Amino acid sequence: MSPVRGEGGGAPAEAGVPSPAAGRAAAARPRPAGRTPAVPRNDGPRSPAGASFQEMWAELLPIGRHPGSGGYRRYAWSGADRECRAWFEEQAGARGLAYEVDRNGNQWAWLGDPAAGDAVVTGSHLDSVPDGGAFDGPLGVVSSFAALDELRARKTRFTKPLAIVNFGDEEGARFGLACVGSRLTAGHLTAEQARRLTDADGVTLPRAMEAAGHDPEAIGADPERLARIGAFVELHVEQGRALDLSGDRVGVASAIWPHGRWRFDFRGEANHAGTTRLVDRRDPMLSYAQTVLAARREAELAGAVATFGKISVEPNGVNAIPSLVRGWLDSRAADQATLDTVVDGIRRAAGEYADAHGIDLDVVRESFTPVVEFDHALRDELGRLLGKDTGLVVPVLGTGAGHDAGILSGRIPTAMLFVRNPTGVSHSPAEFAAEDDCLAGVRALADVLEGLACT
Ligand SMILES: [Zn+2]
């Protein structure tokens, strides 16, 4: 049974697993006072799944890693992505799994006959954000193959088809839209919309697919494929510190927080930075700056998050008072009402600050994704399977990050497992999970797959 309850986390990596750079970053992070020491290194003999995990991890580790930043640049359909996809195909072949690429470029490795229906599917993605970490995505794919190895070592008999999937273009780093592979499959993105996606070099998604050897002709909704799936379980590194704070290695996802993006345009009057008296200025930077602080305050009050991470300034001169400051707000909260309260509060404050400085304010909501509740029955089943031998209650946690599992949740029963990330850092080379926690994740996933596919 999975020892999902941990000792406090943050163990330095063993050689090669995970990356030494990530390990150093995690080890350098100050620990909260009174915490138990880091998990001791596990130098004992590895289980077959542990050994295969290490081997797979070491194979993937150099692919697409930028020598300067130490981060990963595995953009959809790029050379690095193609190397990752070749690796996936090799892993499928090495295990005697039936390999296929679906119409949207997602890769599948099947054990058993897909046509039998009610398949149990696990997996994640292999692409990355610019200078991303090693774990976001690959941990789920590598753990899926390792969990299958674990089940085979247990001599488990499968009563349902099992598949491992690598969803294409999850991060949206190249074409600006996340989860393209699963969105297309679920019908949330039409083929026409997808065909218009273009990268920074003017290359369209179909062109990029073609260049990587995938025929883009048939992209689009794939209801027949989804109809064959009884459950999808995605394992993912946690992108926060909830498990670290609770002292657990593995948790089950409850929901993906609702989130949105709003553009705030503060318009004032450009003028000379040296000759314009302070009292004569209409400086939009002032109301923008106050709004940034208001966002922090509103988010803190509500237990939500709010971030101004992107800004554009006109005319953008060192010696010019700006005429326009445009800032983008990203805000997320556990529920819709809280998110509304936070964003309304920020808008109200921005309006007051703008009035005080003679600034015109426009606020436009650019995108919004409502809360995604994972399938309650499947979530409860995961909790039961993970706690059945130990009696431990597996923590259930929400997340502010989007995932393929969230995209598919409206079509098929989906669930997620999170593996502890001691720093909570993600989308950065400092992203980290200790090897013992990764292996606890593999065992947890194996237990879940055994319970779902072998009953
Ligand atoms: Zn991810």
pLDDT for 320-373, tens place per residue? Answer: 999 999 999 999 999 999 999 999 999 999 999 999 999 999 999 988 889 999
Q: Where does residue 362 rank: exposed (0-12), middle (13-18), buried (19+ CB within 10 A)?
A: exposed
Write out pLDDT tens, residues 14-58: 333 443 333 333 333 333 333 332 333 344 446 778 889 999 999
Mean pLDDT, residues 257-285 taken together: 96
CATH 3.30.70.360 in the chain: give the residue spans: 259-369
139 Cα: distance to centroid of ligand 1 (angstroms): 9
Q: Which pLDDT value is given to residue 7? A: 42
CATH 3.40.630.10 in the chain: give the residue spans: 20-257+371-453
Integer Cα distance of 455 and 453 in angstroms: 6
- Place 438 in a pLDDT band, splitting at 50, 70 and 90: very high
Mean pLDDT, residues 91-98 taken together: 97
Tell which residue, 60, 331, 76, 74, has the closest CA to residue 183: 76
Higher pLDDT, 11 or 108: 108
Tell which residue, 233, 42, 15, has the closest CA to residue 120: 233
Q: Which pLDDT value is given to residue 46? A: 60
The answer to whether 258 and 339 have CB atoms below 8 angstroms apart is yes
Residue 278 confidence (pLDDT) above 90: yes
CATH 1.10.10.10 is the classification of domain 20-257+371-453: no
User: Could you tell me where the DSSP H helices lie in 197-328?
Assistant: 205-211, 223-227, 242-246, 284-302
Least confident of 44-58, 72-86, 187-201, 348-362: 44-58
Q: Which pLDDT value is given to residue 389? A: 79
46 Cα: distance to centroid of ligand 1 (angstroms): 27
Q: Which pLDDT value is given to residue 35? A: 32
165 Cα: distance to centroid of ligand 1 (angstroms): 13
180 Cα: distance to centroid of ligand 1 (angstroms): 13
Tell which residue, 228, 224, 237, 198, has the closest CA to residue 104: 224
273 Cα: distance to centroid of ligand 1 (angstroms): 45
- Place 300 in a pLDDT band, splitting at 50, 70 and 90: very high
End-to-end CA distance of the chain: give it in Å, rounded: 17
Mean pLDDT, residues 370-399 taken together: 91
Residue 362's DSSP bridge partners are 265
Q: Which pLDDT value is given to residue 3? A: 40
CATH topology of domain 259-369: Alpha-Beta Plaits (3.30.70)
Percent of the chain with pLDDT over 70: 90
Mean residue pLDDT across the chain:
90
Q: Which pLDDT value is given to residue 48? A: 75
Q: Which pLDDT value is given to residue 37? A: 28
List all residues 6 or more positions away from 346 whose beta carbon is below 8 Å from its beta carbon: 291, 294, 295, 298, 306, 329, 331
H or E element, residue 196: helix 191-196
266 Cα: distance to centroid of ligand 1 (angstroms): 34
315 Cα: distance to centroid of ligand 1 (angstroms): 37
Residue 429 confidence (pLDDT) above 90: yes
136 Cα: distance to centroid of ligand 1 (angstroms): 4
Integer Cα distance of 256 and 280 in angstroms: 47
Residue 127 confidence (pLDDT) above 60: yes
Higher pLDDT, 174 or 26: 174
- Place 427 in a pLDDT band, splitting at 50, 70 and 90: very high
Q: Which residues surround ligand 1, an ion (CB under 5 A)?
A: 136-137
Q: Which pLDDT value is given to residue 176? A: 86
- Place 166 in a pLDDT band, splitting at 50, 70 and 90: very high
Expressed in percent and rounded to 5, the helix, strand and coil fractions of the chain are 35, 20, 40
- Place 388 in a pLDDT band, splitting at 50, 70 and 90: confident
